Structure 1
Amino acid sequence: MSSVDTQQYLICPLTLQLFNEPVTAEDGHTYERKAITEWITQHSTSPITKKFLSINRLTPNCAIKDAVEAFKQQQAQSNILPSVSIADANANAASPSTTSTSTSMMATTSTIASTATMTTILTMTSTLTMATTSTRATTSTMTSTATMTSSSMTISTSTMAPTSSSTLGSTPQMPCASAEWSSTGITITSDLDSPHDIAIDSRDNIIVADTENHRLQKYFTNGTNMTLLTDIKAPSIFIDKYDNIYVTDAFGDEVRILSSNGELITIIDGSNISGSIVNHFVFDGQPCLYVDKNNTVYISDTGNHQVIKYYPNSTSGIVVAGGKGQGPELNQLNTPYGIYVDEINEIGAIYICDLQNHRIQKWLNGANEGITVAANDDQLDSPVSILLQSTADRMVMFISSFSANHVFKWIPYEQEAQSVIAGIGGFGDEANQLDAPRGIKFDKYWNLYVADSGNNRVQKFLFNTSSCDNSD
């Protein structure tokens, strides 16, 4: 058995990570216990064969668990080549070697590591319909595990990385309330035309809605990239906990759900909306997506001035905010853009960028009207994207203002922003400036990524770790 086969054998088809508690279901396939339990609770059927499954009939797969442990032990005893990130590549380019010999060695090592990492990503990416391990694990598989090469071990190291804070469908806790970021951004890519949104998967790969180029781009951590989808005008994207990609398509007023390598899983067409005064999505600008931990999909239906919720496997959406026509009243919205759902504190509360009303509205679960948590015509001039994060004692909003050319850090109910964390230089194309910023995301290290649409680039603002050194 090849090293790649062994990698797939040790990885759950749902989480795409090494098994921790592998169990075998009635369909003959092996999954991570927590992941398949959640799946069965929501769907009742196998993600691979579509046959009925029961949580009570999950059987521990001791052979695979032993194989994973053997692999981890072998990994700990081996010299593992590091993966080369975009930042590493830039750092190497900026720091010339003292001798030609060391330069050659660095280049060779980087090439080997990059090749291994790229092979990993292209090989290990899979959909929920991928074929996976059967119940009959063999001793020979465990033997193969112990003979893996160092390059194949680099592959598994990347699969065990923590899930990105921006993809969990929950509200992770920030390091501290006084957190700060670098005032100058690093350009990740500029080969774009008005990028509207970005997302970061569990392996720190960046997916960009290259909106006016009508394509979806994926930028790998080793500096390479690929086109996932063409012929799509994608204003917004979201990645769920299984690295599936949700994309709004302004051409068809629909939402496509894709696997991590761009294969179509299903489509939400928006033609059946319960409780709405309209019968179809109208995506105008950047309708935002949010997918919670239960795979419930929230969509800001911008042209109809409402937010729609779709439960898993549902063919009809439910209006959960707005839907009373365009206007400034508390039960109305005026061109809603970015949305974020609180899954930690006020469960199900939706925070909405109410663009033309220049405010952030919070709609509690089941409410008939919203609560204004931020409003300032100068600072909140056309808010288009929002992230909600928690600290030890408070909630913090991060808001992208399209017309003010800033990303703000804002405490709910305060009259003005606490600080500007990106675009401190205002309008422009310098490293400390932004032009019509749209989507924003954090990676697992709390670095901030901004879709700087007017400058046709994606900017990265590094988290200042020292800003939390003396915090309480």
Structure 2
Amino acid sequence: MATGENVDPQQYTRVSDIAKEPQKMLMPIRGYQEMPIVSLEEAVAPLVSILPEIQDYAYVAKQRCESVPPDDLTQDESASIMLYSMEWEPHDKCLYFALNAALRTEDRRKLKPWFSYLKLVLTALEKLPSTRCHVFRGVNLDLSNQYSKGKNFVWWGFSSCTTSIEVLENEQFLGKTGERTMFTIECDSGKDISRHSYFQSEEEVLLLAARQFIVVGCLRPAPGLHMIQLKETKPPITLLQPVTNQSVQIKPSPNLGLPNQSTTSTATISKNPITTNQISTQSQTKQNGIQTKKNQYKQFGITVAGGNGQGQELYQLNYPEGIFIDNDKSVYIADYYNHRIIKWKLNSYEGQIIAGGNGQGNQNNQLDSPINIIFDKKNNSLIISDWGNRRVIRYFGENQTNQQIIISNVNFGGITIDKNGFIYVSDRENNEVRRWKQGDGKRELVAGGNGKGNHLNQLNFPTKIFIDEDYSLYISDWENHRVMKWKKGAKEGRIVAGGNGKGNSFKQLSCPNGVIVDHLGQLYVADTG
């Protein structure tokens, strides 16, 4: 925004509406991504019952926008951002105010009238480059008790920020007396909307809805002034669904180190990890003179678990995450928001809770947002990534009275196990992968650990991992948009997919996540961006 001496008082409410943020986890924001892109006039039509004058202000925004806006946006896309930045009386009838109120409510049905507008404005914002910078927000309240050091939390509404700390000292904002809380935020995904804002002289950075942060530190430098330092982090699940095509693409894997082999693969896989509606694959593999031209999977899948609406009954799921299938074709599911692992036998109508299910918590019989499951054959046990508790916990068989915390205090992205029972965990905070031996609390570094970066001996936010029969480790290197292969004992890795910048060409990846390698050495990557 502008300097502290040149501030429009209408900006205050957007920068200082932090106190309205709910202090709890809500359901992910989704559904709008399936809507078609329409004009701004069509996008706001469903909002008239909520904002009676919205069509008038949409007209003003469209007229103020250039016919050929900057940043390759269409006029409707640019105007959708401008409409968000506009303010009028009363404040609670402004678009930004009503939209953020809907985003912060537990009843996700209240978002449905906003779907067309969300599709339009998020399409516009995705075209703007993400800015890694420090920004500021503030409020004339003491919120220090709500933001203790080390706390992870989500701001569900869009967050308007300023790049100038002097703005917050202006009397129209925080001023210099009284109780006030200032947030300094290190963000990775800020959007500079100044060229599309109604107030184009303001250097406003907008953080998208459903951003997750961690409290790095707290300070009280003066009477009544509370400073809270935040850093943007990535949640283990998608809280705000991207508006771009979310089909999972399997990229070609250059030179996997297998003799006389070349592989080209593409795939389209449904986003639901449990109920697959469509899977189609074409691949061509040459190895030792054997050629497979095409593998065709069944076009239509069947529901094997859930499918009875969102909920916590035994026949329901609530945001299923990682899965595991045993030899009896029973499916084990990390039921994220139900804080449990549930087993679904083949052709069963309902599942059986085998871990957690005793409410969200950190006791040994509780889980907090589990995301991954692996099976340890040697010990006949399930190993669970208990993300909310920052731990890996083992459950022996289906006996909930016998648990063992294997690893604690780690911000893991992925977990896997090799044939000797060694457990591998990717650490997104320390940009490394470590290995644990059964019965040994020591952590052995096997990949990364040389700081955040894009050199071959570095990682940047490693997520999912896979270990092959030769103990080579495959790592989805999220922020470097590549997949790395680290051979056993290697000091650096080798790029086996991506590594050519973020993009959607066949030589690029965009925020890779899931990764596996089949028995032929073919690499499969979930390209989430």
Q: TM-score, normalised by structure 2?
A: 0.38
Q: Higher strand fraction: Structure 1 or Structure 2?
A: 2
Identify the structure with bigger relative contact order (alpha carbons < 8 Å, sequence gap 6+): 1
Structure showing greater radius of gyration is 2
Q: TM-score, normalised by structure 1?
A: 0.43
